[in-house]
């Protein structure tokens, strides 16, 4: 064996030894992180019980028949008191969006019911309503509803618009027929360009189908961040970070520590994802247009991005209480910028760019396309690649953060030992 062969053999042995040490360090960290998770009642309940129970309980308010708001109660003030005004009231009442709950003679009486939450809207038919119609003059109906509660406001307004549209159509058709047109010709003259709508993917306008899938993604993100942050704060509080010093010094480096921690969380949350999208979706009858394989392939970079982000920010917290308090406060802002409560396109540019740094923003968009629209992985390739970009960025951030906190903890421990001597 010549010199060159010996050198190559030594290099190969060194590489194999380095890989083996790194793998051992990763497994050690993986086991250590599992030990921390399963020995902490708070984190264990967050990671296990919350994921088992919360997805079952949360959709109950929208469960089977309650996921679409129908027959919103309204009051009617009929100042006209004619057969035509009564016909309009009947058209409002048969509409599935609203229900005429009470008749009042004055706006003050109706307002009293409105402020007591007995009704959600007030319809006022003015005096002379039928006379204006018979004289071919324009008339109007007033609708009062609470625009601060947008969904109920929309239902009331839509219901009254349907009734007004149907009555207007009938009146115009009768006028055209009085001029000698046949009924089909009168109907065509009244509406020469009819609108035919095809509601796709959520034809029943179910609030559950819209809300729950996106919230499941946010549940995964927030429980991961809170759990990892809590363990990070506890590790600093209990001075545990210096335990990793021998690992990063002799057995594969800081990368093995970060990958070991990530492996522990990833193994748990892959199981949670299968439970969410394989069982919870079926349990609640949520639409699933794609297969579980596509969802899991897409969800992997999402989970990794959240895990590495959580590891990075966990090094900032000095107590578990600080971690839980601060990360719980981020839940609502994350919902608001995630894109499903308000369109990202309507946000300011700076906020849109900030929102894209959160894995949930890209994750929800891609997940909804796969699960609700039936998109294939190639259709959400941009989302998938972008998530892998976040994985790389947050991995580097977590490596730097963990290296800094471990060395700082080691220096603090050495300083205390020196002082005690």
In a domain, 22, yes or no: yes
In a domain, 221, yes or no: yes
Q: Is 191 helix (H, G, I), strand (E, B) or coil?
A: coil
Q: Cα–Cα distance between 319 and 304 in angstroms, integer?
A: 24
In a domain, 410, yes or no: yes
Are 217 and 177 within one domain?
no
Report residue 93: phi and psi, to 5°.
Answer: -75, -35
Are 178 and 307 within one domain?
no
In a domain, 149, yes or no: yes
Query: Of the candidates 123, 156, 190, which is a domain's last residue?
Result: 190
In a domain, 203, yes or no: no
What pLDDT, in 10s, does the model give residues 55-105?
887 777 666 656 677 889 999 999 999 998 999 999 999 888 899 999 998
Domain range spanning residue 85? 72-190
Are 126 and 271 within one domain?
no
pLDDT by residue, tens only, the chain of 421 residues: 555 544 554 455 566 666 677 777 788 888 888 988 888 888 888 888 888 888 887 777 666 656 677 889 999 999 999 998 999 999 999 888 899 999 998 999 999 999 988 999 999 999 998 888 888 788 889 999 888 788 888 889 989 998 888 888 888 888 777 777 787 787 777 766 667 777 676 666 677 777 788 888 988 999 999 999 988 888 877 776 655 655 555 555 788 889 999 999 999 999 999 998 888 888 877 777 888 888 899 999 999 999 999 999 998 888 888 888 888 888 888 888 887 777 888 888 888 888 899 999 999 999 988 888 888 888 999 999 999 999 999 999 999 988 888 777 666 544 454 443 3
Q: Cα–Cα distance between 292 and 315 in angstroms, integer?
A: 34
Closest C-alpha to 257, from 13, 64, 48, 21: 21
Q: Cα–Cα distance between 186 and 190 in angstroms, integer?
A: 6
Are 289 and 254 within one domain?
yes
C-alpha pair distances (Å), 130 with each of 85, 112, 141, 142:
7, 28, 11, 15
Q: What's the whole-model pTM score?
A: 0.79
Are 364 and 304 within one domain?
yes
Residue 173 sits in a domain whose CATH number is 3.40.1710.10
Query: Of the candidates 190, 225, 250, which is a domain's last residue?
Result: 190
In a domain, 3, yes or no: no
In a domain, 201, yes or no: no
Q: Cα–Cα distance between 122 and 76 in angstroms, integer?
A: 6
Are 56 and 116 within one domain?
no
In a domain, 8, yes or no: no
Closest C-alpha to 95, from 167, 151, 163: 163
Are 243 and 332 within one domain?
yes
Are 362 and 242 within one domain?
yes
Please list the alpha-helical segments (H only) found in 318-380. 320-329, 331-336, 349-355, 359-371
Query: How many domains does the chain fold into?
Result: 2
Are 54 and 76 within one domain?
no
Are 290 and 412 within one domain?
yes
Any idea which residue has 């618009």 for tokens? Answer: 161
Are 301 and 327 within one domain?
yes
Are 381 and 243 within one domain?
yes
Partners of 143 in the β-ladder: 123
Partners of 102 in the β-ladder: 75
């Amino acid at each position: 064996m010549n010199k060159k062969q010996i050198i190559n053999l030594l290099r190969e042995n060194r590489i194999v030894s380095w890989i083996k040490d790194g793998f051992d360090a990763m497994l050690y960290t993986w086991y250590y992180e599992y030990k921390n998770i399963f020995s902490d009642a708070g984190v264990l309940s967050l990671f296990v019980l919350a994921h088992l129970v919360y997805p079952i309980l949360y959709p109950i308010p929208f469960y089977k028949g309650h996921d679409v708001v129908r027959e919103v109660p309204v009051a009617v003030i009929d100042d006209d008191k004619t057969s035509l005004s009564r016909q309009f009231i009947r058209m409002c009442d048969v509409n599935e969006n609203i229900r005429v709950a009470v008749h009042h003679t004055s706006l003050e009486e109706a307002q009293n019911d409105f402020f007591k939450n007995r009704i959600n809207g007030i319809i006022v038919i003015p005096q002379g309503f039928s006379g204006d119609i018979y004289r071919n003059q324009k008339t109007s109906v007033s609708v009062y509803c609470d625009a601060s509660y947008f969904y109920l406001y929309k239902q009331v307004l839509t219901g009254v618009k349907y009734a007004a549209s149907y009555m207007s159509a009938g009146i115009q058709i009768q006028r055209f027929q009085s001029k000698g047109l046949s009924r089909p010709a009168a109907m065509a003259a009244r509406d020469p360009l009819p609108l035919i709508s095809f509601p796709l993917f959520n034809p029943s306008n179910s609030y559950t189908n819209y809300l729950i899938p996106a919230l499941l993604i946010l549940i995964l993100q927030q429980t991961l961040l809170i759990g990892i942050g809590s363990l990070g704060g506890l590790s600093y509080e209990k001075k545990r970070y210096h335990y990793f010093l021998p690992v990063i010094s002799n057995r594969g480096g800081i990368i093995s520590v970060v990958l070991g921690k990530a492996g522990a969380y990833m193994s748990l949350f892959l199981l949670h994802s299968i439970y969410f999208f394989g069982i919870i979706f079926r349990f609640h009858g949520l639409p699933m247009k794609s297969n579980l394989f596509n969802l899991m392939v897409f969800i992997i970079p999402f989970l990794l991005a959240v895990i590495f982000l959580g590891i990075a920010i966990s090094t900032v917290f000095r107590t578990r209480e600080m971690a839980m308090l601060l990360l719980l406060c981020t839940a609502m802002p994350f919902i608001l910028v995630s894109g499903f409560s308000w369109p990202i396109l309507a946000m300011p540019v700076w906020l849109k760019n900030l929102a894209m740094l959160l894995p949930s923003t890209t994750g929800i968009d891609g997940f909804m396309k796969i699960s609700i629209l039936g998109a294939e992985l190639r259709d959400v390739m941009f989302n998938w690649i972008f998530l892998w970009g976040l994985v790389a960025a947050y991995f580097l951030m977590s490596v730097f953060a963990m290296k800094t906190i471990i060395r700082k903890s080691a220096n603090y421990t050495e300083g205390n030992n020196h002082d005690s001597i």
